[in-house]
Amino acid sequence: MRKALIVVDVQNDFVEGGALACGGGKKVAQNVHYWIENHKEDYALIVATRDWHTPDDTNGGHIAIDADPDFIDTWAAHCVADTKGAEYCEPLAKELFDVEILKGQGKPAYSGFEGITTEDGLTLDGILKENDIEQVDVVGIALDYCVYQTAKDAVDLGYGVTVLKGLTASVDEEGGNEAVEKLEKKGVRVV
């Protein structure tokens, strides 16, 4: 069975010191890097997703520009294209990944399945199918938002899905626990 690793949004704006920081985000970056170095032979494909928002734009109402964000539907400016906040958190780097998916260009997007590659405009589902992937492991930030949505969409599309919880960070613990419960009810394995 061919398997892919999907690394979700491990970017500077989602770790400590970033615009929408998750506690433990920098540790996730280190641990995901270590995981890739020691387990890359387990995967036919290693994919990274990145929030990549259009500058000076609400991105379809996702980013609050003229008001305070409600942190439910609207957020502070984050992961603006070509900024430090949108870069991978070190020690992660683009060279570690076989494929990069950018999402949120001018619109809200939480799931990696909502993004496309920059080179040829392929979707994550298209890339996985093209590579005969049947199983995905999902890691990254934030468990209660983008990791959750990516894992949910993957299982809905028929992939076998495992979330490696130790390689994730949540916006808050309660939200992370709720996400795990919902995913497990959908048949996602959380380890």
Cis peptide before 142 (omega within 30 of 0): yes
CATH of residue 133's domain is 3.40.50.850
127-185, pLDDT tens digit by residue?
Answer: 999 999 999 999 999 999 999 999 999 999 999 999 999 999 999 999 999 999 999 99
pLDDT score, position 1: 87
2-39, pLDDT tens digit by residue?
Answer: 999 999 999 999 999 999 999 999 999 999 999 999 99
Q: 32 or 64: whose pLDDT is higher?
A: 32
44, part of any domain: yes
61, part of any domain: no
- Name residue, tokens 């990696």: 112
For residues 52 and 105, is the Cβ–Cβ distance under 8 A? yes
DSSP string, 142-169: -IIIIIHHHHHHHHHTT-EEEEEEEEEE
Candidate list 9, 13, 137, 144, residue with the active-site label: 9
183, part of any domain: yes
Candidate list 79, 103, 137, 153, residue with the active-site label: 103
134, part of any domain: yes
CA distance 61 to 74: 7
pLDDT score, position 124: 98
67, part of any domain: no
Residue 165 among the catalytic residues: no
pLDDT score, position 191: 97
68, part of any domain: no
Please count the structural domains in the chain.
1
- Domain residues for the domain of 39 are 3-51+87-99+108-190
Residue 103 among the catalytic residues: yes
Residue 146 among the catalytic residues: yes
Candidate list 22, 79, 89, 146, residue with the active-site label: 146
pLDDT score, position 111: 97
